Amino acid sequence: MPEALLDDLNPQQRRAVTAGDGQVLVLAGPGSGKTRVLTRRLAYLITERNIPGYGIIAVTFTNRAARVMEERVKDLIPNPLPEYQVDSIWLGTFHAMCARLLRRESNYLPYKSNFVIFDSDDQESLIKRAIRELNIDDKTHRPGAIHASISAAKNDLLLPEDMPVRTYRDEVVKRVYTRYQQMLAANNAVDFDDLLMVATRLLQEQPGVAERYARRFQHVLVDEFQDTNLAQYELLKQLCSYHKNIFVVGDEDQSIYRWRGADYRNVQRFESDFKGCEVILLEQNYRSTQNVLDAARQVIDRNRNRTPKHLFTARGTGGKLVQYTAVDDLAEAAYVVDTITQYLSSGRAKASDFAVMYRTNAQSRLIEEAMMHARLPYRLVGALRFYGRREVKDMIAFLRLVENPSDEVSLLRVIGVPPRGIGEKTITALQSAAFRAGSSMGEVLLDLGRRGEDSPHWAEMGRSAPVLADFGAMLSDWVALREQTSLVNLFDRIINDSGYEKYINDQTEEGNDRWDNIQELRRLAYDYLEKGLTEFLQNLALVSDQDTLPAESDQPSKAQQGAVTLLTLHAAKGLEFNQVFILGLDEGLLPHSRSRDDPEEMAEERRLFYVGMTRAKNQLYLVRSERRSNYGSWEYSEPSRFLADIDENLVISQGKRTSSRRETLFSDMRWSTTGVSTTNYKPQPRKVELPDTKYKPGMRVRSAAWGEGLVLESKVDSDGEETVDVHFESVGFKRVLASLANLVIIQ
Hey, which residues are catalytic here? 34-35, 223-224, 254, 615
C-beta of 705: minimal distance to DNA in Å?
19
Residues 575-604 touching DNA, rule: CB under 7 A, are: 592, 594-595, 601
CB-based contact 202:208 (threshold 8 Å): no
Choose, by CB under 7 A, the member of 382, 472, 612, 655 that binds DNA: 382
Choose, by CB under 7 A, the member of 362, 372, 529, 705 that binds DNA: 362
C-beta of 548: minimal distance to DNA in Å?
9
Choose, by CB under 7 A, the member of 161, 424, 509, 530 that binds DNA: 424
Binding mask 665-684 for DNA (x = CB under 7 A): ---------x----------
CB-based contact 723:683 (threshold 8 Å): yes
707 contacts DNA (rule: CB under 7 A): no
Residues 495-514 touching DNA, rule: CB under 7 A, are: none
C-beta of 326: minimal distance to DNA in Å?
18
Longest dimension (CA), the chain: 84
464 vs 703, beta carbon nearer DNA: 464
10 vs 432, beta carbon nearer DNA: 432
Stretch that binds DNA, among 23-31, 137-145, 263-271, 642-650 (CB under 7 A): 137-145
Q: How far is CA 254 from CA 159, 200, 247, 423, 611, in A?
A: 30, 25, 18, 49, 6
Q: How far is CA 219 from CA 51, 209, 269, 592, in A?
A: 9, 18, 20, 40
Choose, by CB under 7 A, the member of 90, 111, 180, 192 that binds DNA: 192
Residues 516, 704: Cα–Cα separation, whole Å: 15
C-beta of 93: minimal distance to DNA in Å?
4
Partner residues linked to 93 by β-bridges? 60
3-state helix/strand/coil string of 384-448: CCCCCCHHHHHHHHHHHHHHCCCCHHHHHHHCCCCCCCCCHHHHHHHHHHHHHHCCCHHHHHHHH
CB-based contact 127:150 (threshold 8 Å): yes
Stretch that binds DNA, among 391-399, 625-633, 712-720, 732-740 (CB under 7 A): 625-633
C-beta of 384: minimal distance to DNA in Å?
9
C-beta of 605: minimal distance to DNA in Å?
7
Residues 434-473 touching DNA, rule: CB under 7 A, are: 464
Choose, by CB under 7 A, the member of 307, 431, 629, 693 that binds DNA: 629
Count of H-run helices and E-run strands, the chain: 30, 24
Residues 255-314 touching DNA, rule: CB under 7 A, are: 256, 259-260
Report CA dihedral (611, 617, 619, 621) to the nearest 10 degrees: -20
609 contacts DNA (rule: CB under 7 A): no
End-to-end CA distance of the chain: 66
Reply yes or no: is the peptide bond before residue 418 cis, omega within 30 of 0.
yes
Strands 627-630, 616-625: pairing kind: unpaired
Choose, by CB under 7 A, the member of 80, 164, 419, 438 that binds DNA: 419
486-490: long-range contacts, CB 8 A cutoff, minimum separation 24: 486/529, 487/525, 487/528, 487/529, 487/532, 487/533, 487/536, 488/522, 488/525, 488/526, 488/529, 490/399, 490/402, 490/533
Strand ranges of the sheet holding 700-703, from the earlier edge strand across to the other edge: 732-737, 722-728, 707-716, 700-703, 744-745
Stretch that binds DNA, among 139-147, 307-315, 395-403, 706-714 (CB under 7 A): 139-147
C-beta of 256: minimal distance to DNA in Å?
7
C-beta of 520: minimal distance to DNA in Å?
18
Contacts of 231 (CB under 8 A, 6+ apart): 154, 155, 156, 157, 193, 196, 197, 200, 261
Residues 49-78 touching DNA, rule: CB under 7 A, are: 61-62
145 contacts DNA (rule: CB under 7 A): yes
Residues 537, 482: Cα–Cα separation, whole Å: 14
282 vs 381, beta carbon nearer DNA: 381
119 vs 725, beta carbon nearer DNA: 119
Report CA dihedral (585, 588, 591, 596) to the nearest 10 degrees: 160
The site that binds DNA (CB under 7 A) totals a number of residues, namely: 50
C-beta of 588: minimal distance to DNA in Å?
10
405 vs 584, beta carbon nearer DNA: 584
Choose, by CB under 7 A, the member of 10, 182, 317, 360 that binds DNA: 360
Residues near DNA, by CB under 7 A: 61-62, 93-96, 119-120, 142, 144-145, 147-148, 192-193, 256, 259-260, 359-362, 382-383, 416, 419-426, 464, 542, 544-547, 568, 570-571, 592, 594-595, 601, 629, 631-632, 674
